[in-house]
Amino acid sequence: MIEALGLTKRLGGRLLLDDVSLRVDAGESVAVMGPSGVGKTTLLRCTAGLERADAGTVRVGGDAFTPGAAADERAVARARRRVGFVFQQLHLFPHLTVLENVVEAPVHVARRARGEAEAQARALLERVGIAARADARPHELSGGEQQRAAIARALALAPEALLMDEPTSALDGARVGELVALLRGLCADGLALLFVTHDEPFAHALARRVLTLRDGRLIDQSAAP
């Protein structure tokens, strides 16, 4: 479960997030839609603890933090280990293989033994369907393969929630259906999924709830078909 309560964020005098609250339960998928520049990515980053908010609280399982509080750095760090994040540009390390990208956080953040981390990474790559590309570098992958590598990396610390920024932006139509199937499977295993997107068909194909962010507020909520 991941929950944001009363998130407020101002940028350059503009109110991007105005007392925004939302909750995504284990096994649930929630989409946030809205025009470019409305603050969708800011909402995602504040919820993940990657960006400071001016007010509000985020809860991930049993951990809670205030994204704008300097004294909350340890709480933010604990919570961030329970949240996976897939960036729109993916940000895979170009000099590392796919396997090394996935192993990086378990070894250097969680201090796991490399052998254990590699075994887990290979299992994740099998789960997302690119086990055969473990030794490839990001530039050798297709857009869909890069997306799956980024998802495996985000899952490497066994997070309770996965946050995704515009997950279909680099995919063609054929790959979008494959991504929907993969993410549905992860949610079926209990992962809480929150994503922002411009892709309305994708949002309704995947999300249990579709929210619209406009003028700093989540003003529309509908059950996806």
CA 35 from chain center: how many Å?
19
CA 213 from chain center: how many Å?
17
pLDDT digits (tens, 9 = 90+) for 34-64: 988 899 999 999 999 888 899 999 999 888 8
Q: Write down the pTM of the prediction.
A: 0.92
Domain ranges of the chain: 1-82+160-225, 94-158
* Residue 70 DSSP label: G
CB–CB of 106/157 below 8 Å? Answer: yes
Q: What is the pLDDT of residue 35?
A: 87
* Residue 72 DSSP label: G
d(CA 90, CA 121): 17
1-82+160-225 carries CATH number 3.60.9.10: no
d(CA 50, CA 157): 17
